[in-house]
Amino acid sequence: MTRIFSGIKPTGHLTLGNYLGAIRQWAEVDQHRAESLFSIVDLHALTVDHDPGRVRRLSRQAATLLLASGIDPGLATVFVQSHVDEHARLSYLLECVATDGEMRRMIQYKEKSARERARGGSVRLSLLTYPALMAADILAYGTDEVPVGDDQTQHVELTRDLAVRFNQRYGQTFVVPRATPPKVAARVMDLQDPTSKMGKSHEAGGSIVYLLDEPEVVRKKILRAVTDSGSEVVYDRAARPGVSNLLEILAACRGGNPEALSGAYESYGALKSDTADAVVELLRPVQERHKELMAEPAYVEEVLRRGAEQARAMAKPTVDGAYRAIGL
Ligand code: ADP
């Protein structure tokens, strides 16, 4: 059976980008067709400035939201990365097959380290080696497919390179995985700066729709979204990034394709209003279920405990095998 692994970082509140680019596909499609593991990758949250208590709180919140989004612990394994030692154990071996040059080429490293330096801060070494840990997350489970948004495909490519290199050097050990981004909304853009992605770690909350935003807040943010000069509603990502982003969000919520939808609108105002309604409708059931689950924290803890146990049992043979293959 196909095996799927994907993760989400507890670095902030989950966004509409996380939902449309990843979680929805995990819940609606992936867990039903493949053996799936979904991890709250908390070790990755330590690569940037963080507050320890907050990482823990956000991990529980992310787990609750995954369950509220329809991920069924009877079908998929949901767990917290740091509960399974195999990730860190394997990451070190992969750092020993990777080169610093290939790590430095990663777009996310370049962007995040530049931002950190611009703020006068220092860059943690783990931000550079992040892709080795991500590769370990994936390879430890013999993963075939990694459903991630567009922003992560470069890291999955590197994971493939490391798997192939390790196999060539030390003998067949890892399955070589591939990224499977969603067909629509693989890159939801920021509402105020539609040339950069809607990311939960950005600070300007007004430009990001969070999964737990109240309906009025969602409406306000979408109605205030930056649109492009001109007034015609056309789908053109390069020339009209703002309007195209709204069309993509609307298409992802309601089905259909953004280009076809553009014909139905004569003004930006009508498009924004319909997009806001569609997002509110999309989030409503997730928010309702989240409220119910918030009353059952012991249930969420139990799901995570069992998830870690299952994940450990799957990862250990592969990671032990990698140590043996290297001759340790
Ligand atoms: P973030 O950038 O929000 O910290 P994560 O690294 O936790 O995201 O990613 C969780 C999943 O959500 C990944 O599969 C990622 O590709 C996807 N994702 C994150 N932001 C977006 C976005 N703006 N559009 C589409 N998918 C996204």
Token pair belonging to 205: 């909350």
Q: Tens digits of per-residue pLDDT, 243-289?
A: 999 999 999 999 889 999 999 999 999 999 999 999 999 999 999 99
Atom of ligand 1 nearest to the CA of 201: 4
Protein residue with its CA nearest to atom 14 in ligand 1: 148
CA pair distance 123, 140, nearest whole angstrom = 27
Residue 291 has φ and ψ, to the nearest 5°, of -60, -45
Q: Say whether 110 is catalytic.
A: no
Share of the chain above pLDDT 90, in %: 88
DSSP state of 79: E
The catalytically annotated residue of 110, 197, 221, 291 is 197
pLDDT of 208 reads: 95
Confidence of residue 145 (pLDDT cuts 50, 70, 90): very high
Q: How far is the CA of 151 from the centre of ligand 1 (A)?
A: 7
Q: Domain limits of the chain? A: 3-181+296-325, 205-291
Confidence check: pLDDT of 202 > 90: no
Determine the topology of domain 205-291 in CATH.
Answer: Tyrosyl-Transfer RNA Synthetase (1.10.240)
Q: Tens digits of per-residue pLDDT, 83-101?
A: 999 999 999 999 999 999 9
Q: How far is the CA of 317 from the centre of ligand 1 (A)?
A: 29
* Sole residue written with tokens 């819940």: 27
Give the residue-averaged pLDDT of 301-308: 98
What top-level class would CATH report for the domain 3-181+296-325?
A: alpha beta
Q: pTM of the entire structure? A: 0.94
Q: How far is the CA of 170 from the centre of ligand 1 (A)?
A: 33
Token pair belonging to 107: 């777009």
- Average pLDDT across the chain, whole number: 95
Ligand 1, pocket-test mutation among 151, 159, 207, 210, most atoms within 8 A of CB: 151
Confidence check: pLDDT of 49 > 90: no
288: exposed, middle or buried (Cβ count in 10 Å: 0-12, 13-18, 19+):
exposed
Atom of ligand 1 nearest to the CA of 7: 10
In the chain, count H helices and then E strands: 14, 5
Ligand 1, pocket-test mutation among 4, 6, 18, 109, most atoms within 8 A of CB: 18
Q: Tens digits of per-residue pLDDT, 112-121?
A: 999 999 999 9
Q: How far is the CA of 220 from the centre of ligand 1 (A)?
A: 23
E strands within the chain?
3-8, 35-40, 76-80, 145-146, 178-179
Atom of ligand 1 nearest to the CA of 190: 23
Q: Say whether 197 is catalytic.
A: yes
Instruction: Kindly list the protein residues whose Cβ atom lies closer than 6 A to any atom of ligand 1.
Output: 6, 8-9, 11, 15, 17-18, 21-22, 148-149, 151-152, 186-188, 197-201
